[in-house]
Amino acid sequence: MSLTVVGSIAFDSVRTPFGERERMLGGSAVHFALAASFFTEVRVVGPVGDDFGDDEIAVLSERGVITDDIEHVEGGQTFFWQGHYEHDMNIAHTDDTQLNVFADFEPKLSAESREAEMLFLGNIQPDLQRDVRAKSAASYAGLDSMNLWIETTKNSLVAAIGEIDCLLLNDAELRMLTGEPNLARAARSAMELGPSVIVAKRGEYGAALFTEEGFFAIPGLPLEDVRDPTGAGDSFAGGFLGYLDEARSAGRTDDVTLRIAMAYGSVMASFNVEDFGTERVRRLTEGEIADRVLDFKRLTHFDEPSN
Ligand code: AMP
């Protein structure tokens, strides 16, 4: 089992009602890779600039993430995102996006990255996502995107979605992409573009799974300490696809497996939001993950009265 991710590798400056951080390590590929590293072997593909140093690489390699395909662009600056959250932390307000080294990025995949069984196309320009999909031999591919690309490059995004198996989007973005206000209809209409699995992420309210066979939903954990939701979507995707890669290599691909993957996605997202940037996931243990899976099981279980 192995998983390749392409996506932003970033410095993020973030303000939430609970504090502020300047230029912390972030990006869709980074949050995804750290979460997925608890389940499978992960390789990151993407460019960084001169401002990206050994300390940043160490955050990934300490979790066993393979960084050989992170390309250092001489004289360049790493992708930069600045945003803030008001009291409704489900909505990220973007204050600045500097593509920097991503502006001229031409993805190069090593033989190992090409041959990984699973591919995740994290949130970046959809033509780059298509380029990587074309170069990869993965038997299963997931994709995430955002409102920016739906608004500015919708045709490329629709083409990219036609080439993958699993689409993970925020519920509002799924509605925006398909023009369907009803979530179930929006998911059906997204499936007609190609993917057989649609995951609608709903921030603190959890996530919904649509497949050809049916529907499943998982709530968010009612956490009392949420400090920074940046990267929650990518951590969800990392837990979801990381678990799926592990399960697929054991021959499990059915809806029961997808439901368990939903639980792992939710668990990883719930840890991510407890602290700024990558801080919480960096100190996370497998024992904590196992305990929180049980919390989710308890939260979603009920019995009929016995009499
Ligand atoms: P999310 O999981 O949706 O909260 O994604 C958060 C990450 O997305 C942050 O770490 C940002 O660096 C990254 N990001 C924000 N805007 C963009 C963009 N336009 N392209 C790629 N990555 C982005």
Question: Going residue by residue through the chain (307 aa), what tens digit of pLDDT does each one get?
Answer: 999 999 999 999 999 999 999 999 999 999 999 999 999 999 999 999 999 999 999 999 999 999 999 999 999 999 999 999 999 998 999 999 999 999 999 999 999 999 999 999 999 999 999 999 999 999 999 999 999 999 999 999 999 999 999 999 999 999 999 999 999 999 999 999 999 999 999 999 999 999 999 999 999 998 988 999 999 999 999 999 999 999 999 999 999 999 999 999 999 999 999 999 999 999 999 999 999 999 999 999 999 998 7
Supply the pLDDT for residue 279: 97
83 lines ligand 1 (CB under 6 A): no
Atom of ligand 1 nearest to the CA of 229: 4
Distance, in Å, from the CA atom of 213 to the CA atom of 126, rounded to the nearest integer, reads 28
Distance, in Å, from the CA atom of 50 to the CA atom of 63, rounded to the nearest integer, reads 23
Supply the pLDDT for residue 121: 98
DSSP letter at 212? S
- By the 10 Å C-beta count (0-12 exposed, 13-18 middle, 19+ buried), 227 is classed as buried
Closest to 289 (Cα-Cα) out of 307, 263, 250: 263
Is there a contact between 293 and 259 (Cβ–Cβ < 8 Å)?
A: no
Is there a contact between 9 and 103 (Cβ–Cβ < 8 Å)?
A: no
230 lines ligand 1 (CB under 6 A): yes
281 Cα to the center of ligand 1, angstroms: 17
Q: Edge-to-edge strand order for the sheet containing 79-84?
A: 19-26, 10-16, 79-84, 93-98
Distance, in Å, from the CA atom of 16 to the CA atom of 230, rounded to the nearest integer, reads 10
Supply the pLDDT for residue 155: 98
User: How many alpha carbons fall within 13 Å on the CB side of residue 16?
Assistant: 20
Supply the pLDDT for residue 159: 98
Measured by CA distance, the residue closest to atom 1 of ligand 1 is 231
Measured by CA distance, the residue closest to atom 13 of ligand 1 is 27
Distance, in Å, from the CA atom of 251 to the CA atom of 280, rounded to the nearest integer, reads 32
User: How many alpha carbons fall within 13 Å on the CB side of residue 103?
Assistant: 10
Distance, in Å, from the CA atom of 243 to the CA atom of 221, rounded to the nearest integer, reads 19
Measured by CA distance, the residue closest to atom 14 of ligand 1 is 27
Supply the pLDDT for residue 307: 74
Strand residues in 181-264 grouped as ranges (E): 197-201, 207-211, 215-218
Measured by CA distance, the residue closest to atom 15 of ligand 1 is 81
- Contacts of 68 by beta carbon, 8 Å cutoff, 6+ apart: 43, 110, 112
Supply the pLDDT for residue 86: 95
State how far the alpha carbon of 186 is from the alpha carbons of 109, 171, 181, 234, in Å: 33, 9, 7, 21
Atom of ligand 1 nearest to the CA of 170: 3
42 Cα to the center of ligand 1, angstroms: 19
46 lines ligand 1 (CB under 6 A): no
Among 23, 48, 144, 146, residue to substitute to test ligand 1 (most atoms within 8 Å of Cβ): 146
Is there a contact between 217 and 209 (Cβ–Cβ < 8 Å)?
A: yes
Is there a contact between 136 and 114 (Cβ–Cβ < 8 Å)?
A: yes
Among 11, 12, 28, residue to substitute to test ligand 1 (most atoms within 8 Å of Cβ): 28
Atom of ligand 1 nearest to the CA of 79: 12
Is there a contact between 243 and 253 (Cβ–Cβ < 8 Å)?
A: no
